Amino acid sequence: MSELAFPGLVSTPLCIADFEVEGGIMALGQTPFSARRVGYITGGRFRGARLDGEILPGGGNWSHGGQMEPGVQVAAFDARSMWRTHDGALIHLTYAGRSVVPDAVAAAFRDPAAPEVDPSAYSIRIAPVFETADPRYAWLNGVLAVGCGVRMDWGVRHFMYAIG
């Protein structure tokens, strides 16, 4: 039997998106199914070579998670937001994803006096999907994207890449 050759994938920077989440994350707590948390988007900004504009208030991230192994938490994302480009187009963005956060990092995130946490100490990964009716941005409807996130004091910054 011959070896299977995997086709190559290329990633192209798409944009950097800053999701502001004022008021923090609301923890529902441990239900019989998982630990539920909700963070509401209060605004933000996105910028890239072909995309520039504002993230509108009103979306959010409905996540759930649990313990992946002793001392490490894992969560799954269900996020939605509306974007308005600099020239007035509306874009609906959804993403699923995963985070892996050691307990010590989670404690540092909750402590306002703690120093900034090195992003290599945790993992936030997303798979964004775009939808728009604006013909100027119709190309986004066919984009498969991935991203990595960094927690910020005001929310999360996602670095998004188109995969081709």
Question: What confidence score (pLDDT) does residue 91 get?
Answer: 98
Give the residue-averaged pLDDT of 21-48: 90
Q: What is the 3-state secondary structure (H, E, C) of 32-59?
A: CCCEEEEEECCEEEEECCCCEEEECCCC
pLDDT band of residue 30 (cuts 50, 70, 90) is confident
Q: Which residue has the tokens 């909750």?
A: 110
- The distance in angstroms from the start CA to the end CA of the chain is 29
Query: In whole angstroms, what is the distance from residue 135 CA to residue 137 CA?
Result: 5
Query: In whole angstroms, what is the distance from residue 38 CA to residue 101 CA?
Result: 17
| Residue of 109, 96, 112, 105 whose CA lies nearest to 63 | 96
**Amino acid identity at 154:** W
Question: What confidence score (pLDDT) does residue 5 get?
Answer: 87
Query: In whole angstroms, what is the distance from residue 25 CA to residue 33 CA?
Result: 19
Question: What confidence score (pLDDT) does residue 73 get?
Answer: 95
Give the number of other CB atoms < 10 A from CB of residue 16.
16
pLDDT band of residue 1 (cuts 50, 70, 90) is low
Question: What confidence score (pLDDT) does residue 113 get?
Answer: 86
Question: What confidence score (pLDDT) does residue 2 get?
Answer: 67
The model's pLDDT over 7-18, given as tens digits with 9 standing for 90+, comes to 899 999 999 999
The model's pLDDT over 72-127, given as tens digits with 9 standing for 90+, comes to 999 999 999 999 999 999 999 999 999 999 999 999 988 888 888 999 999 999 99
The second-level CATH assignment, the architecture, of 11-163 is: Beta Barrel (2.40)
What pTM did the predictor assign? 0.91
